[in-house]
């Protein structure tokens, strides 16, 4: 079973949850997701802690799954892709596998 970390803009948090469900239930992947703030906002310290945790998830994963809906990849996700490549991780783009989410 491949372990993947979902990487995507928080504007796609609902879709990322749905995609994670499909990857785990239909594609035998173990998905490490980002932590969502639930619309409450986060402090600078919390944001830094979440970013560090997300980087660690990438380190632990076999691959990252980039949620690039409508071709959008923000600055943070671009940095996560650079990190994953530097670590030799596989990069899977949602736009290349749109059938995964039933689109």
Per-residue pLDDT at 103:
45
**Residues 15-65 pLDDT 10s:** 999 999 999 999 999 999 877 666 677 788 988 888 899 999 999 999 999
Instruction: Say how many CA atoms lie within 13 Å of 98 toward its Cβ.
Output: 6
Question: Shortest CA distance to 33 belongs to which of 10, 67, 57, 11?
Answer: 57
Q: DSSP alpha helices (H): ranges in the chain?
A: 13-26, 44-60, 75-86
Question: Shortest CA distance to 89 belongs to which of 53, 61, 66, 51?
Answer: 61
Compute the distance between CA of residue 28 and CA of residue 46 in angstroms, rounded to an integer.
Answer: 32
Work out the pLDDT band at 85, boundaries 50, 70, 90: very high
Q: Rounded mean pLDDT of the chain?
A: 89
pTM above 0.85, yes or no: yes
**Residues 54-65 pLDDT 10s:** 999 999 999 999
């Amino acid at each position: 079973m491949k372990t993947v970390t979902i990487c995507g803009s928080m504007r796609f948090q609902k879709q990322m949850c749905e995609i994670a469900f499909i990857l785990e239930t239909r594609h035998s992947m173990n998905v490490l997701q980002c932590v969502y703030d639930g619309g409450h906002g986060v402090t600078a310290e919390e944001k830094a802690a979440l970013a560090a945790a997300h980087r660690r998830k990438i380190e632990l994963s076999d691959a990252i799954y980039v949620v690039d809906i409508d071709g959008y990849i923000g600055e943070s996700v671009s940095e996560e892709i650079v990190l994953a490549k530097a670590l030799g991780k596989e990069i899977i783009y949602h736009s290349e596998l749109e059938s995964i989410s039933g689109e």
